[in-house]
Structure 1
Amino acid sequence: MSGVQEKQLHELLSRSMVDIYVGPENTHWILHEKLLCYHSPFFRKIFYSKANSASRTQSFGLPDEEDAPFKTFVGWLYSSSLPVPREEADLGVCFDLYLMAEKFEIPGLVADVLQVVREWYKYSDSYPGLRRVQYIYANTEEGSPMRHMLVHAVARMMVIEKGIPAHWDKALRKNGQLAVDIIKAIQDWRLEEEVVPDAREEPAEAEELVDVEQETQKLDEEAEQEIDDDVRAERAEEADDSEDTVVESPTNESKRPQPKSKQSGKDVGQDLKSKDNGLVKDFKKFSLKEMPNEMTNADYGTLRA
């Protein structure tokens, strides 16, 4: 823990008190003003600023903060110590307390929370989960000590573990900054060249797994199968075309073209008769009742001198 303070606790327990209201329920805390402002420039600006000197306000509200981390903060304020997490779920309060420490501008509390979180992961032989890392990333700025510590821990997990868990793989594809930070963390280690495998000199693990003979046989079989499929498809297509072009025998009576007329035999006869009558009428126009040169019908067989 930070522990070392320029002033002893009894020197900071002045008579002047301030009222702090926390969370949506306005949980009321009465704290020593001198002690609070000594550790936090954030509260120092609120209670000691010239703007507040006229009214000399003695109260302040923190509606966005949670009761649990603030209670832990008050405990640290008077004892300079933090409770030890017993299980991973207890780290939630630690992370909230860390964000509060950054907001209140308390470097001593930042360092103490970092130590508690670091030790928990160390002695539990575990690594930060994706949900914790995303929470810190969403609520801190670049350069945050907690972000730095978590990223370096995750980078080690990525290096020593075999493969990347599916949820981490998905998260790194979506969060480019997190992926870049992990790469930078590995570079910060300044590993000796002899320790880092060189794929330019020796085949990597994936290359060693390549069985040339087996892969060649597999590709040949796939090519032959594809050719066979194409041949069968072509034959099937030719069979379909031959069925569509079949020509029926012209002697098939049922297939002969039928006359378009739907009239009966009687109707057809009447129609022909009416046509003959018309021809007769027209023929009468060419009768020999009148002959040229004053000829009569009786004279058609003689010649005139």
Structure 2
Amino acid sequence: MIGNDMVDIYVGPEKEHFHVHRAAICGKIPYFEKMFKDGGFAESYTKSATFPEDDPESFDLLLGWVYQGSIKVPAVRTDDRGDPELSWKPNSLYKLAEKICLSQLQGQVVDTLRDFDRQTYCLSCTKTILNAYSETRKKSGLHRYYAQSLAFILVQGKTCSTWTVNELTEAMSKEVELTRDVLTILRDSGGNVKDPVNEPDCKFHCHADGEPCYKDINKNDYDGK
């Protein structure tokens, strides 16, 4: 039972308002349990919190995950080059999941992105990759996926539109960490870079060794264990 006890959360520079069941968000996310239940923060008394730097659309997806246990993925659209693209922001949602220390959601974001890339036979464009490197933490699962995507494109030429050498050069010159990650993959693989959409899921997750994958946790919940 989630009851009628509610909290108010305001997200983004325009302070978009979300009215959320406190039991639901605290029961699913330890970050909010500490904020709203422990009594050590002002939010536990005011029953409200503000996240001015976060994306309201991503927070709405987070709430979908809280209430339904999965990401509510909006429809696919077409970009200005005619290529299919997601109509939600994986990088922004991943960034939010990092902020609130939610490794399960981080894994789901990457897996949802990989499913899309697998179905469309398309890998993310350089703009999306650069955005992730500027907004999310180094060595994250998302970084590993994007770096291997770019390394695979360089070796195999796989992409849903023709990337010019200038576009690839610009991306790698703008982000030294990306270049380092790609070169490491190329060196360690001897040029035999595997398609990242077909790699084991946990390669791009961020749970610690020995910590259960979110898929195992969900399976156990489904089995009633």
TM-score (structure 2 length as normaliser):
0.70
Q: Quick one: which amino acid aligns to residue 182 of structure 1?
A: V
Task: Decide whether the 8 Å contact of 1:70 with 1:97 is kept in 2.
Answer: yes
Question: Are 1:160 and 2:156 an aligned pair?
Answer: yes
Q: Normalized per residue, which structure has more strand?
A: 2
Cα–Cα, structure 1 residues 191 and 172, in superposed 2: closer, same or farther, change >3 Å? closer
Write the distance in 1 (CA, Å) between the matches of 2:47 and 2:4.
Answer: 12
Question: Are 1:46 and 2:35 an aligned pair?
Answer: yes
Unaligned runs of 5+ in 1: 1-9, 193-305
Unaligned runs of 5+ in 2: 78-83, 193-225
Task: Decide whether the 8 Å contact of 1:42 with 1:104 is kept in 2.
Answer: yes
Task: Decide whether the 8 Å contact of 2:10 with 2:16 is kept in 1.
Answer: yes
Greater shift, 153-162 or 139-148, is seen at: 153-162
Larger Rg: 1
Write the distance in 2 (CA, Å) between the matches of 1:31 and 1:173.
Answer: 43
Write the distance in 2 (CA, Å) between the matches of 1:47 and 1:178.
Answer: 38
Cross-structure match for 1:169: 169
Determine which of 91, 95, 115 is the counterpart of 1:119: 115
Cross-structure match for 1:22: 11
| Secondary structure of residue in 1 paired with 2:13 | coil
Larger RCO, structure (CA 8 Å, separation 6 or more): 2
Cross-structure match for 2:144: 148
Cα–Cα, structure 1 residues 70 and 184, in superposed 2: closer, same or farther, change >3 Å? same
Cα–Cα, structure 1 residues 118 and 54, in superposed 2: closer, same or farther, change >3 Å? closer
1:2-23: CA deviation from partner (whole Å, max 9, x where unpaired): xxxxxxxx4xx14432111122
Q: Quick one: which amino acid aligns to residue 23 of structure 2?
A: K
Determine which of 23, 42, 46 is the counterpart of 1:34: 23
Q: Quick one: which amino acid aligns to residue 22 of structure 2?
A: E
Write the distance in 1 (CA, Å) between the matches of 2:104 and 2:43.
Answer: 31
TM-score (structure 1 length as normaliser):
0.53
Greater shift, 181-190 or 127-136, is seen at: 181-190
Determine which of 41, 57, 76 is the counterpart of 1:86: 76
RMSD: 2.6
| Offset, 1:126 | 1.3
Cross-structure match for 1:67: 56
Share of identical aligned residues, percent? 24
The 5 A counterparts of 1:116-265 are 116-161=112-157, 165-189=165-189
1:228-261: CA deviation from partner (whole Å, max 9, x where unpaired): xxxxxxxxxxxxxxxxxxxxxxxxxxxxxxxxxx
Matched positions, count: 181
Write the distance in 1 (CA, Å) between the matches of 2:113 and 2:186.
Answer: 21
